[in-house]
Amino acid sequence: MDFTKVKENEERAILEKKEIVEKDFWRQKYHIQGIVGLINDPNGFSQFKGKYHMFYQWNPLGTDHKNKTWAHSVSNDLLHWKRLKTALRPDTRYSKDGVYSGSAIVDDEKLYLFYTGNVKDSDGNRESYQCLAVSSDGENFERWEPSIVNQPDGYTRHIRDPKIWKKDGKFYAVIGIQSEDLEGKAVLYSSENIKDWKFEGEIAGANHGKIKDFGFMWECPDYFQLKDEKTGEIKDLLVFSPQGLEPEGDLYNNKYQTGYLFGKLDYKNPEFEISSNFVEIDRGNDFYAPQSMEDDKGRRLIVGWMGIPEEEDFPTVKKEWLHCLTLPRELKVIDGKLYQVPINEMESIRGEKIEFSGKVTGEVKVGTGVTYELKAKFTDFNSDFGLKLRTGKSSETVLKFDYNDKKFVLDRTKGEQPDKRLRKVYLGDISELELTVFVDSSSIEVFINGGQEVFSSRIFPEKDANGIIVFADKDVNVEIQKWEWK
Ligand code: FRU
């Protein structure tokens, strides 16, 4: 097999397409995106020798889901990222049809990447190998392939996306898998030396324990613990991306979704004992396959792919690039509930500030902006109200509280994104609505009431669409602060 062309092809594609990409006004300012081509899942999110490392699924050759590599960027502040050379390419026997998703761990002064090698055999059948790569400098990786060749009986070759951690001197990984009955599951593996892995058991899945039918494949599982900031209780979380859920009202309206379960991982009789319902982690149009890590400040940070598989009909395809990652967020548990809050570092990019406060009836234009942070606090309302952002001749993104339905609604009907469906979440009887919104050239991330709910969506407004409007059917009291991004 001739793998010498893989790197050459990547370099040629960058040369050919970079100029077209860079001219696009939808290129993001503070989000990780591919220099050309398609990106998807965040991978190997970690901190090594003082720097944050982010790897991500990247097809340098086009905007389709092929030729997956691990692109690599590093940062000191989670906002300014420097691209390093591609960490892993599909140029080995065990990864020839894609270096698929996985995670990272730092151990013994080395950075290990644990990923899935995707291979199609000569009949086109899928083979999956869990593989390792190791680096001492955080930039050059030596491949150790494969680590897990065989999978347990009763499953198909859909096994991928290992998430690794260490506990009491032993390594563990949770991996997404599909049973022969075509049900999505999560399995646990363990290793004493990081090289040789042992199958421990199926810890959760569709038609496993309390969960009934729940999708045909579980992708990108993640397991971690958080300490409840109010009660002090340690909570275990299993985050995963099930494929195949049917929409139920406001739930599960994206092609595939991501959510979490609270529970307790039993290592002895491998099982994730579930203690909650499945909750969608993000209510927006574009959020999938997130990955978390704990940093040296003790924060549990999470980043998602701001995109969804098989929903690829985006206007940037003509400009030779597709998708980005979300901003990093911090996860917290407070009184038994999961919150997602913006990282403090966001304040470091605040530039010129405008403020507005007062009563609004009808529509009031309070400012302009294309890439910025906005905080809004609404009180004293008895009708629908909200914000219209990135408004122009033919575009606007509407964030609205639907007073009768008691729901928050994200409406991006006016813009060039093909998917015009609304996204909603029930908030109930509230007397105050507080929003923190991050608007980049082609995305919006909305944190509601201290991060109880989050909406992440791509938006494709016309060039220079920049209006910021407050509206209320009857009236509303509002306080707004907006910072242009430096
Ligand atoms: C999730 C996913 C993973 C896989 C990767 C391939 O979006 O399908 O399961 O490893 O993308 O790019």
pLDDT by residue (tens digit) across 415-470? Answer: 998 889 999 999 999 999 999 999 999 999 999 999 999 999 999 999 999 999 99
* pLDDT over 70, % of the chain: 100
Q: Residue 349 in 3-state DSSP? A: helix
Q: What is the pLDDT of residues 64-109, one digit of tens each?
A: 999 999 999 999 999 999 999 999 999 999 999 999 999 999 999 9
C-beta 258 within 6 A of ligand 1: no
Evaluate: CB of 116 within 6 angstroms of ligand 1.
Answer: yes
Taking CA atoms only, the protein residue closest to ligand 1 atom 6 is 100
Number of C-beta neighbours around residue 235 at 10 A: 18
**Ligand 1 close to Cβ of residue 101 (< 6 A):** yes
* CA proximity to 339, closest of 295, 297, 300, 284: 300
Determine the 3-state secondary structure of 319 from DSSP. Answer: helix
Q: Does 198 have pLDDT greater than 80?
A: yes
Instruction: Indicate the residue type of 170.
Output: K
Residue 425 phi, psi (nearest 5):
-145, 140
pLDDT at residue number 1:
67
**Do β-strands 155-167 and 170-179 pair in parallel, antiparallel, or remain unpaired?**
antiparallel
The beta-strand segments (E) located in 109-258 are 110-120, 126-135, 142-148, 155-167, 170-179, 184-191, 198-205, 217-227, 234-243
Tell me which of 97, 128, 160 to substitute to probe ligand 1's pocket, judged by most ligand atoms within 8 Å of the beta carbon: 160
Helix, strand, or coil (residue 70): strand
- Domain 346-485, CATH: 2.60.120.560
Residue with tokens 């009949």: 123
Q: Which two three-digit tokens encode residue 225?
A: 């613990």
C-beta atoms surrounding 109 within 10 Å: 8
Distance CA 118, CA 81 (A): 28
Three-state SS at 317: helix
Q: What is the rounded distance in angstroms from the CA atom of residue 421 to the CA atom of residue 413?
A: 7
Q: What is the mean pLDDT of the chain?
A: 97
CA distance 452 to 467: 27
Q: Cβ neighbours of residue 326 under 8 Å, at least 6 residues apart?
A: 31, 287, 290, 303, 304, 305, 306, 445, 456
pLDDT at 201 > cutoff 90:
yes
Mean pLDDT, residues 154-178 taken together: 98
- Order the strands of the 69-75 sheet from edge to edge: 81-88, 69-75, 51-59, 37-48, 321-322
pLDDT at 329: 98
Judge residue 441's burial from the number of C-beta atoms within 10 Å of its C-beta, 0-12 exposed, 13-18 middle, 19 or more buried. Answer: buried
Residue 27 pLDDT: 98
Q: What is the DSSP letter of 345?
A: G
Cβ–ligand 1 distance for 309 under 6 Å, the answer yes
Q: Is 164 in the pocket of ligand 1 (CB under 6 A)?
A: no
* pLDDT cut 90: percent of the chain above it: 97
Q: Ligand 1: distance of its center to the CA of 101 in Å?
A: 6
How many other C-beta atoms are found inside a 10 Å radius of the C-beta of residue 149? 12
Superfamily of 4-342 according to CATH? Glycosyl hydrolase domain; family 43 (2.115.10.20)
**The pLDDT value given to residue 312:** 85
What are the residue boundaries of the structural domains of the chain, listed by start?
4-342, 346-485
Kind of pairing, strands 170-179 and 184-191? antiparallel
Per-residue confidence (pLDDT) for residue 311, from 0 to 100? 87
CA distance 451 to 282: 10
Averaged pLDDT, 357-365? 98
Q: How far, in Å, is the centroid of ligand 1 from the Cα of 22?
A: 26
Q: Give the closest residue (by CA) to ligand 1 atom 9.
A: 219
Best residue for ligand 1 mutational test, from 95, 220, 306, 323 (most atoms within 8 Å of Cβ) = 220
Which residue's CA is the nearest one to ligand 1's atom 12?
A: 100
DSSP letter for 5, please: H
Residue 150: its pLDDT value, please? 79
Give yes or no for residue 149 having a pLDDT over 90.
no
Predicted confidence (pLDDT) at residue 485 exceeds the cutoff of 90:
yes
pLDDT tens figures, 287-340: 999 999 999 999 999 999 999 999 888 999 999 999 999 999 999 999 999 999
CA–CA dist 215, 219 (Å, integer): 10
CA–CA dist 176, 185 (Å, integer): 6
pLDDT class of 411 with cuts at 50, 70, 90: very high
Residue 125 one-letter amino acid: N
4-342 shares its CATH topology with 346-485: no
Report d(CA 211, CA 209) in Å as an integer: 6
**C-alpha span between 330 and 139 (Å, rounded):** 26
H/E stretch holding 20 reads helix 4-22
Span 385-406, average pLDDT: 98
Interstrand relation of 432-440 and 372-379 (parallel, antiparallel or unpaired):
antiparallel
Measured in Å, residue 221 CA sits from the centre of ligand 1 at 11
For residue 2, what pLDDT is reported? 79
Per-residue model confidence as pLDDT tens digits over 12-67: 999 999 999 999 999 999 999 999 999 999 999 999 999 999 999 999 999 999 99
